[in-house]
Amino acid sequence: MTRTPMIGEVLLSEGLITQQQLDDAIRAQGEQGGLLGRHLILSGAIGRIELYSALSVAWNAPFLDLVEFPADAALVRQYDPRQLVDQGWVPWRLRDKTLIIATSVPPTDELIERAKRGYDVTDVEVRTTPDWDIWQTVAIACREELLTLSADELAYSRPESSAISGLTWWQKAIPIGLAILLAITIIVKPPLGMMILLAAANIAFFVSVSFKSFAAIRWPFRRAHIERFQLGVARERFDRDLPVRWEPNLGEDDLPLYTILVPAFNEANIIKNVINNLDDLDYPHSKLEVLILLEEEDVDTIETTRNASPPEYVRILVVPRGEPQTKPRACNYGLTFANGEFIVIFDAEDHPESDQLHQAVHEFRQDEFERAYLDPNANKLVCTQAALNYFNADYNVITRMFAVEYSHWFDAMLPGLDHSGIPLPLGGTSNHFRTQELRELGGWDPYNVTEDADLGLRAAADGLRVSTIQSVTWEEACSQTKAWIRQRTRWIKGYMVTAAVNTRHPIEFWKKTGFRGMIGNVGLILGTPLAFLLYPIALATTLITYIGVQFIGLDLPEWLIIAGVINMLYGNLMMIVSAAITSYFRYGWRIAVFAVFLPVYWVLHSFAAWRALFQMVRDPHRWEKTPHGLDEEYETGLPR
């Protein structure tokens, strides 16, 4: 507190800012909290170098330009890079028993003691340097270590949770054995073989549809329950002369620092959009830390982002070249540099609703409150998932189908699963985490191509909870069939990998997550790819047998044909109706009516599922990037 007026005084005395600018920054600090210097930079009153130069006077620690005089890399590597970033300092030189450090935070006694202990020195000299230079120094000096951490930390720390080792021997042997057995049966006894295949296909389809329908149908009941509960709480609070609605005591200055990760690869065409979209967030910029994660080889996007002159709270992090070159690896890299109490991922094309961070903070604070005062044994909330929907829903048929499907997923199914004890598979973006717990979970698995779904299940296995919030992130639906198939291949393959990872030790997984966890894993994670793999078989066989078995000369039992037809009708109807209702409320009838095409849309899924199975064998870690910005003309006002 004593230093705040000092930095202001220093800047004023050196003529770097005006009194008006200082007053404005102090007012902003009073309203939003945070450091005065940050407000001065955000308001454009001063540059970063000028600020830290002034701070060097205030701190009595000479300014050091780490770009011109880089730190001793070997020295930096001796310390945990994550701690250096967290603590805001780096070692610069070691002379005899004197360590010279560069800091971007006040050189407190605690910090100096920490440096002494870390390097076993008796004296520490302090220099002042901008925070960005600290990051840059760590990134350069610890490149290899950071690469290893981003790619393989989970594999080292929790190998049983990592997809790096692929399938276990029995996970390969059982499906292959069953497939061979079925093939032999079909050759030797075609009716029996076909009967088994058709029955299996129908069961898989039935299980998958029933699970999704159950979850979707549960949502209105759950919502009614929540409303009743809230009403009861409100009455009780009213009786006790309390405000009827509990609100976390969150003024702007109480809001925590929030880190936003924006992984982007070959997306120079839309990177400016996300910067603008995030600027629309209703959250104090002084509490925001946006990290744009760009791959080293992606020169175009790096160049475009730099040229876009992003605001002060946006930082560009160049992820070093390495394998696997996947989004989770980039996110893990970003996680290393994240300072926020909470962290969220947004894709480069995302447009989150402005109140989303507020909603997420509210959700986390409510969880803390409830665990503190109502149910100390409740599972800790580690992540809350915002709804994902599409801004280009009516661009073409495939985007409409995508919108119908996503609306069903995020507006009904996931909220329906909330508080059911069934683990929620997370969506690819807009999942808000507690940063510390995310690190403890091991971050994202770079070898799993649906790292999001995997993380949801891993959190459940660790006794943590995932919830949903109603705030929406508007995304761009993939509008081209080829790109859609590539994206869906990746997702379905990821589900296969996730299911495999979680069933390596099925009994252990059962013990950790309980019966419901197992249901979630089988009904959703394993059931989804299985149903898509078998759907065309069930559909075609049902259709053919219905039109006339004389086409194939197959004599299937009447009960199986009837069961198949009923199953197809039931399954398709359930999904069509529930998806139509949810998408009607989200997008209106023009989109909702496309739910009738779901049975055809699933054929496309099946194609992707078989492609995924093929890749699962050949290249399980291959990440097929989904191109964005395909609909640029749509966004520029030509929505035909």
Partner 1 sequence: MNRWLHDRWESLDSPLFGRRVPGTLVVTWIALVVGLAACIYTTRNGSNLWYSDAQSHLTIARRIFDSKAPGFQQLGTVWLPVPHLLLVPLVIWLPMWSTGWGACVLGMLCLAASVAALYRIAARFGMRRMARLFVVIFFLANPSILYTYTTALTEPVLIATMLGAVAGISGWISSDRKLSGGELAVFAGIPAGMSVLSRYEGWALVGTGSLFVAWASWNKWRDIRYAVRMTLSFAVIPAACALWWVSYNFALYGNPLEFMFGEYSAATQQRNISESGLLTTKGNAGLTFSVYGWSVLEAAGIALIVLAFIGSIVLILTRGLSRQALVIWLTATPAAFSILSLFLGQTAINNDHSLPTTWWNNRFALSAIPVLVLLAGILIDFLRTSKWARRSRASVWLVAGTTLAVIIAQNVWWAQDLSQRSAVIAEAVLSEESGKQAREAGKWMGEQYQGGNILMDETARNNAILPMIGVRLDQYYNRSTGDLFDQALQEPTSHAEWIFVNTETEALDDSGPVDQVYRAMLEHPDRFENYRLVYQTPTHSVYRLVRQ
Binding site for partner 1 (CB under 8 A): 394, 396-398, 479, 481, 547-548, 550-551, 594, 597, 633, 638-640
CB of 267 to partner 1, least distance (A): 22
Buried b (16+ CB within 10 A) or exposed e, 278-295: beebebbbbbbbbbbbbb
CB of 574 to partner 1, least distance (A): 19
Buried b (16+ CB within 10 A) or exposed e, 326-364: bbbbbbbbbbbbbebbbbbbbbbbbbbbeebbbbbbbbb
CB of 455 to partner 1, least distance (A): 33
Which contiguous run of DSSP H or E holds residue 456? helix 451-461
Among residues 410 and 634, whose Cβ is nearest to partner 1?
A: 634
CB of 638 to partner 1, least distance (A): 5
Among residues 394 and 445, whose Cβ is nearest to partner 1?
A: 394
Bridge partners (DSSP) listed for residue 127: 102
Among residues 168 and 480, whose Cβ is nearest to partner 1?
A: 480
CB of 476 to partner 1, least distance (A): 15
Nearest to 468 by CA among 400, 409, 520: 409
Q: Do the Cβ atoms of 106 and 3 come closer than 8 Å?
A: yes
Among residues 123 and 555, whose Cβ is nearest to partner 1?
A: 555
Q: Token digits for 422?
A: 């069934």
Among residues 15 and 553, whose Cβ is nearest to partner 1?
A: 553
Compute how many other C-beta atoms are within 10 angstroms of the C-beta atom of residue 534. Answer: 21
User: Measured between alpha carbons, how far is 550 from 546 in angstroms, rounded to an integer?
Assistant: 10
CB of 185 to partner 1, least distance (A): 27
In the block, tokens 């989970």 appear at 154
User: Amino acid identity, residue 629?
Assistant: G
Among residues 230 and 481, whose Cβ is nearest to partner 1?
A: 481
Among residues 132 and 597, whose Cβ is nearest to partner 1?
A: 597
Kindly list the strands in the beta sheet with 431-434, ordered across the sheet, starting from the edge strand earlier in the chain. 314-319, 288-295, 258-264, 342-345, 431-434, 380-390, 464-475, 351-352
In the block, tokens 């054995």 appear at 177
CB of 398 to partner 1, least distance (A): 6
Which contiguous run of DSSP H or E holds residue 431? strand 431-434
Among residues 251 and 637, whose Cβ is nearest to partner 1?
A: 637
Q: How many helices (H) and strands (E) does the chain have?
A: 26, 11
Among residues 374 and 638, whose Cβ is nearest to partner 1?
A: 638
CB of 488 to partner 1, least distance (A): 16
CB of 548 to partner 1, least distance (A): 3
User: Amino acid identity, residue 363?
Assistant: E
CB of 605 to partner 1, least distance (A): 15
Among residues 254 and 633, whose Cβ is nearest to partner 1?
A: 633
Q: Where are the alpha helices (DSSP H) in 60-189?
A: 73-77, 81-87, 109-119, 131-141, 143-157, 169-188
In the block, tokens 């959700």 appear at 363
